[in-house]
Each structure stands twice: as C-alpha cells, then as structure tokens.
Amino acid sequence: MSTVLEKGADREEPARVDEPLALRGRSFRSRLIAGTGKYSDADTMVAALRAAGAEIVTVAVRRVDLDASKEESLLHHLDPEEFFLLPNTAGCYTAEDAVRYARLGREAGLHDWVKLEVIGDEETLYPDVEEMLDAARTLVDEGFTVLAYTNDDLVTALKLQDAGVAAVMPLASPIGSGLGLLDPVGIRILKRRLDVPVIVDAGVGTASDACLTMEQGVDGVLMNTALAEAEDPVAMAAAMRRAVEAGRLAYLAGRMPRREWAVPSSPSAGRLT
C-alpha cells in the first residue's frame, strides 16, 4: 500500500501552460494580487502574502499618527524587492481627492502605478464611475499607470479602456462582502470585449470564489479581506494561491460542455450478455 501512495506522491505537476500576467509591459509571475489591510499584525500579513504567492500588493496612503510617529512603517515589513507595492486611492469620493492621493502614493513609492478607486456610495462602496473616469483621464495624462476599480458595467469599462488605463478591475461583489462572484456572465462579457487585462477586484470570500472567478478567463484577482479576516490567514492564503492557479489552469484547459443528460464514462461495448 505504502509503495502505491509513494508513487502517487512522486507524480509531477503537469507542465505549466500559462504565461505570466502582463501589465503595461511588466510581467508578474502571480495572478493573485493581495491587499495589506486589516491584518492583526505585520508578521501574519507578510506570512499570508508569501503563502498567497502574491507579487503585487496594494497599500493605502494615510496621515502619519504624530503621537506614535516612531511606530514602524509598513515599508519596514514589505521589501520592495519582494513585493511590488501598488498604492490605492481607497476612501476617495471625488476625482480631485483621488488624484491627490495618487500623487502622494507615487511620491511615497518607487513607481507611478496606482490602483484607482473613487467611491460613490458609503454603504455598498460602489464606484462613482463619473468621478473615476475624470480621475483616470487626469492620471493617465500625468503619466500614471492606472488600474481602475469599477463595477462590471461594460460601457464604463470601455470608457476606462479608452481613457488609457492599464487594467480594468471589476468587482465580483461589494468590497469586503465575501459574497463571491455574483455575475459570472457580466465578467465574461467584460473579458471578451476588452483588450486591456481584466482583474477582478473585491468580493472573493473563499477559495472556490477565487477559482470560479479565474475560470471565467480573467487575468487576475485581487483580494484582501478574504485573507485578513480568515481564522487562519496564512492557511487561507495557501488555499487561495492554489485556487487561483487551479481556476486559471481549468480555464486554459477548456472545460467539457454542460449537458442535462448522462453519458456513461465506461464503454457500452463489451458488456456481458
């Protein structure tokens, strides 16, 4: 028995057929982008990011707490050699604010990439697409590489693409909701119609959500709360890494057709009479 098990364990992974995630001329080995918010402590965060295999990680820009100015900076924990830090404009409600935050993020970081987020509604955190388009155009003019968080509305996504964003990032469901992918068809339509990469941002709750999302053929998935709020963030991160890879490989492999009747897997020929 044990020999059989060992043989099984020795089997090699199938050859990787995937290409790296390409964004604005850069290639990234991981299609899982992770946020850095809401972790209980920095060590757990870094361990989870590593377990997730994340290369791009998002960060926010906020005021220094002057009463605790000696507190270790986030940069102390995130080595820019290991992680590509992507500043966001989270919490912005106007184009003007988002542009301001993007500029601050560029100054704090090492490059001119930004995850653009302009919120229009406090309860759902749905985007204000009008303000976002305005901000996207300004930032692209200023030379930013813009990854734009949006809803799954095709027309908005096409306008963002026309504005020159590097990626469109539709939500799977509301930020922090963990409801998973609510509209796979909408996401597939976006992917089919857009030339720029589509990265699903927000709403993934557990591994099957990430897998199902990647199975739609999108280029990547961004998650934060699903890892940070898991009981064991590092274990969930390891699961998510596999789920994203599995979903991607399943998409590339091409699934069998769905049919509402049975087809036997064993041959009908050669049955005893």
Decide if 66 contacts 35 (C-beta within 8 A): no
Q: Give the integer Cα–Cα distance in Å for 51 and 75.
A: 19
User: Which residues lie closer than 8 Å to 25 by C-beta, 6 or more apart?
Assistant: none
Return the residue of 1, 9, 17, 66 that touches another protein, per CB under 8 A.
Answer: 66
One-letter amino acid of 93: Y
Among 18, 27, 43, 75, binds another protein (CB under 8 A): 75
| Binding-site size, another protein (CB under 8 A) | 37
User: Can residue 154 be called a binding residue for another protein (CB under 8 A)?
Assistant: no
Q: What is the dihedral of CA 46, 217, 208, 85, to 10 degrees?
A: 10
Give yes or no: 159 in active site.
no
**Structure-token match 């990439």, residue found:** 113
A 10 A CB-CB count for 251 gives 17
- Decide: is 98 part of the binding site for another protein (CB under 8 A): no
List 26, 100, 111, 242, residue binding another protein (CB under 8 A): 100
Asked if residues 33 and 57 have their Cβ atoms less than 8 Å apart, the reply is yes
Find the binder of another protein among 29, 70, 258, 271 (CB under 8 A): 70
Instruction: Give the separation between CA 157 and CA 197, rounded to whole angstroms.
Output: 11
Q: Fill in the per-residue mask, 29 to 48: x = in contact with another protein (CB under 8 A), - = not in contact.
A: ------xxxxx-----x---
Out of 51, 52, 56, 59, name the contact with another protein by CB under 8 A: 59
Q: Which 213-272 positions form the footprint of another protein (CB under 8 A)?
A: 222, 224-225
Q: Which residues contribute to the site for another protein (CB under 8 A)?
A: 35-39, 45, 58-64, 66, 69-70, 73-76, 85, 87-88, 90, 100, 103-105, 107-109, 175-176, 202, 222, 224-225
| Active site (catalytic) residues | 115
